[in-house]
Structure 1
Amino acid sequence: MNLPVSLACLLLSGCVFFLGVFVSSSLYARKKRAFLEKIQKLEHENQLLQTSLNLSRHQEQLIEDFSNRLALSSHKLIKDMKEEAQNYFGDTSKSFQSILSPIQTTLTTFKQSLETFETKHAEDRGRLKEQISQLLAVEKKLEHETHVLTDILKHPGSRGRWGEIQLERILELAGMLKYCDYDSQTTSAQGAFRADIIIRLPQDRCLIIDAKAPISDSYFSVEEIDKGDLVDKIKEHIKTLKSKSYWEKFHQSPEYVILFLPGESLFNDAIRLAPELMEIGASSNVILSSPLTLLALLKTIAYMWKQENLQKQIQEVSLLGKELHRRLQVVFTHFQKIGKNLNQTVQSYNDMTSSFQYRVLPTLRKFEGLETSSSHQIEEPTPIESLATSFPHTCDIDTNLAVIESLEKQD
């Protein structure tokens, strides 16, 4: 009984053992298969991750290369534009230097001419004021000297010389120089007549002065003036001057000659004794003059010469103004050309900026959205909004020059 039971137990144990082994091997095989499948899946995922990593690295390298190339291209473009601008503005600067240099010289000359004109004009006003204030003093002095010389001039031979000396002194007081502003003892072209004094006037004209001093003997020898003697001497000399007709011998002279009476008292006495002498002389083209009136006339002539010189300087200033206007017209033209070129350069830069913003940046933004780009972001270029200010429009040069010439004709 025990043996069969033992065998049965043993057999049962063996069956259980084999069954356990079978079940264990079956479970092991299933786990092994599942593990192998999991390993294969992990290897596949690993390959996918490796491929994705390589692709990401490749994309990142592409973006970095593109960024570097774009940066190099931008730097090169900016450098080229900068060099081109420097070359252009360097040439323009040299051109402006060559243009502005003569203009600066013209402006300097123009300024110097104006300063000289203003200085001389102020000096002339001051001198004229002083000269007018001195006229009364000169009159008193001449009258006093006339009375002093009365005793000396009682001799007929010294009267003519006295008239010449008085006339030369008045010429001196008027600031005139011999052989420069006047000539003495000048013979006419025919050689028949000799003028005592010829005053040079502007525009190559002249004024003749006679200084023979037609004074009667009784004027210095008696207390009471012989009316007939003094007046007859002056009338006789007026007829002599009329017969000589100096204005016909010296063609640049006005149709009259000045008869100089070398003393205020002499002139006043003659006019007081015979008031008609002025009319008689004027009808014979002879103008009677006292020292004071002659001095005033000579001062006026000297002032005319100064005005003539000032007029020449004004003409020079006008010519300088015309030349300055022409040169400034050229400068304005260059300014306008530079403004146009600057505006074209700014427009090209803005077009490039717009193209970069709307064509290149959107693609770069897509890379950033994939999170495959580098952390460095490309800065967006800023367009230039301001343009070169337009230079004021200049008037036509011919119109301006015509206006200047018309003003000169009016003056």
Structure 2
Amino acid sequence: MNLTVMLVLAVVAGAAPSALLVFILERRRAARAQAEWQQALDGSREKLARLPVLEQQLASEQQHRQHSDEHARQLAAEKARLEERVAGQQEKLAFSEHSRAQLKQEFENLSARIFEQRGKQLQEQQQQGLDGLLKPFREQLADFRRRVDQIHSDETRAQASLIEQLGQLKSLNQQMHEDARNLTDALKGQVKTQGNWGEMILERVLESSGLTRGREYDTQVNLKDEDGQRRLPDAIVHLPEGKDVVIDAKVSLVAYERLSSAEGPEERDQALRDHLLSLRSHIKGLDAKDYSGLAGIRSLDFVLLFIPVEGAFMTAMEQDASLYTDAFERNIVLVSPTTLLVTLRTIQNIWRYEYQNRNALDIADRAGKICDQVSLVAESMDDVGDKIDKAQQAWQLTYNRLSRGRGNLLGQAHKLQDLGAKARRNLPSPGDDVDGES
């Protein structure tokens, strides 16, 4: 190996650590430079990304400035218009002041005549206004009197009608009893026919009671219980204050028919027991129906069990006195055509007094309104009197200034005529009545 190569190798071998150190330092410096460059690049990218936003903000600011300039121009134009209007208003104000002075002079010249004319008109208007206030009062008072007379007349007719209807009660009961006897043979063993016949008798009693269908009572009302089962009461009678009374006419009279046609004592006793048992069975069944739980029944007090044959009712009451009491304990009342008619007539009278009470409340309300109207009329009369007094005082003051007192207008006008002033009309003397048409 030659000497040159060896020297080179020796130099290389001796310089290797230094070269490595230099290389490492260069690498670190390059890395830092690259990191700084990358950071600068990221910042540039961020600024570049914000550039559209900045451009948009710049455009918005420019647009806002344009609007501000336009608004400033509009304000300047508005200011010019306002200044022009102020100048015009000042001219109008000056003209108004001049016109006001002229009008004041003319008003002073014509005040006496105008005030007198207005005084007459005021009196006429006050009279018309007073008539207008009193007219509703007179009408309401007349209506109140008519309603009181009508109620008195209705009550008198109702009392006479009640006496007449009570007189017809006996004949109606006899007629229904005769109908029952005539239909007994046709009803033998036909329960459905008996039910229809009982409903017919019930309808006749309802029509004779004075109650109105659809208002004080309804028939064959279709109702449902809590289980959805259909219930069909024969009649529902309505009472004031939202209460109802159910009437059931589906009682069986088969046993009573056998009792009526029985030939021997044993047959009669058995038919009587069956009749009483049939009534008790129907009472239990009616109690089990529980009409008070049906939708559409309002505050049910009791149920009327209608026995359409007077004899069947009387026989049951005579033979079993506890039957009525036992039924009443179940809120069931046994009724015959006679007792039912009396009950319904009582309910009809209750309704009649209820309607009269309602009319009385209406009358009381109208009377209160009339009293309020009287109070308003009295207040208006006081106000009218005050205004008339003030008008009289103002008229007297103006009249004194015109023709009386020191320095009055008529006296000064006469002095002007004495000085040579010419007028087409003669002036009244001071202290005389002033007529604007003279």
- For normalisation by structure 1, the TM-score amounts to 0.61
Aligned to 2:282: 237
Residue aligning to 1:149: 183
Q: CA deviation at 1:282?
A: 0.8
Match of 2:358 among 300, 312, 332: 312
C-alpha distance in 2 between matches for 1:107 and 1:156: 63
Note the alpha carbon deviations across 1:323-374, whole angstroms, 9 max, x for none.
Answer: 111111011112233445666788999999xxxxxx99xxxxxxxxxxxxxx
* Equivalent residue number for residue 221 of structure 1: 261
**Which of 344, 348, 371 is equivalent to 1:302?**
348
Give the corresponding residue for 1:171: 206
Quick one: distance in 1 between partners of 2:354 and 2:157?
15
8 A Cα contact 1:247 1:257, kept in partner: no
For 2:249 and 2:299, the matched residues in 1 are separated by 17
3-state SS of 1:331 partner: helix
1:110 to 123, 144, 149: 144
2:240 is matched with: 202
Q: How does 1:28-107 map to 2 (within 5 A)?
A: 83=117, 85-107=119-141
User: In the superposition, relative to structure 1, how do residues 189 and 108 fare at CA in structure 2: closer, same or farther (>3 Å)?
Assistant: farther
Q: Is residue 327 of structure 2 the alignment partner of residue 281 of structure 1?
A: yes
Contact 1:255–1:285 (CA<8 Å) still a contact in 2?
yes
| 1:124 CA drift (Å) | 1.4
Q: Deviations 1:176-226 (Å, cap 9, x if unpaired)?
A: 444443322223233422212112223333210110123215234315353
Distance 1:159 1:220 in 2: 16
Task: For 1:340 and 1:96, locate their aligned partners in 2 and report how far apart those are by CA, in whole Å.
Answer: 14
1:252 and 2:287 aligned: no
Q: Output one character per residue of 1:267-296: Cα deviation in whole Å (capped at 9) or x when no partner.
A: 111101111111110112211001011011
- Cα pair 1:196 1:209 within 8 Å, conserved: yes
One-letter identity of the residue aligned with 1:172: E
For 1:116 and 1:189, locate their aligned partners in 2 and report how far apart those are by CA, in whole Å. Answer: 43
Q: Is the 8 A contact 1:154 1:220 kept in 2?
A: no
Percent identical among aligned pairs is 25
Which region of structure 1 is more displaced relative to structure 2, 281-290 or 177-186?
Answer: 177-186
Structure 1 partner of 2:197 = 162
| 1:211 corresponding residue in structure 2 | 249
Going from structure 1 to structure 2, the CA distance change for 1:185 and 1:84 (only over 3 Å counts) comes to: closer
What is the DSSP-based 3-state SS (H/G/I as helix, E as strand, rest coil) of the residue aligned with 2:234? strand
Q: 1:234 to 1:189 in 2, by over 3 A?
A: same
Q: CA deviation at 1:82?
A: 6.0
Which range moves more in the overlay, 135-144 or 320-329? 135-144
After TM superposition, the score normalised by the length of structure 2 is 0.57
CA separation in 1, counterparts of 2:119 and 2:212? 65
Q: RMSD between aligned alpha carbons?
A: 3.4
What is the rounded CA distance, in whole Å, between the counterparts of 2:189 and 2:334 in structure 1?
23
Asked if the contact 2:115–2:395 (Cα under 8 Å) also holds between the matched residues in 1, the reply is no
- Hey, what does 1:399 align to over in structure 2? none
Count of paired positions: 286
* Partner Cα distance (1:186, 1:349) in 2: 79
Q: Which amino acid aligns with 1:221?
A: S
Quote the residue 2:20 is aligned against. Answer: none
Given the superposition, is the C-alpha separation of residues 290 and 77 from structure 1 closer, same or farther in structure 2, using an over 3 Å criterion? same
Specify the code of the residue in structure 2 equivalent to 1:124.
A
**Mapped contact 1:196–1:211 kept (Cα < 8 A):** yes
In the alignment, structure 2 segments of 5+ residues that lack a partner are 1-109, 399-404, 407-430, 433-438
One-letter amino acid of the counterpart of residue 378, structure 2: F
Q: Provide closer, same or farther for how the CA distance between residues 209 and 298 of structure 1 changes in structure 2, counting only shifts above 3 A.
A: same
CA distance in 2 between partners of 1:162 and 1:340 (Å)? 79
Change in 2 beyond 3 A, CA 1:195/1:253: farther
CA offsets per residue over residues 9-30 of structure 1, 9 Å max, x none?
Answer: xxxxxxxxxxxxxxxxxxxxxx
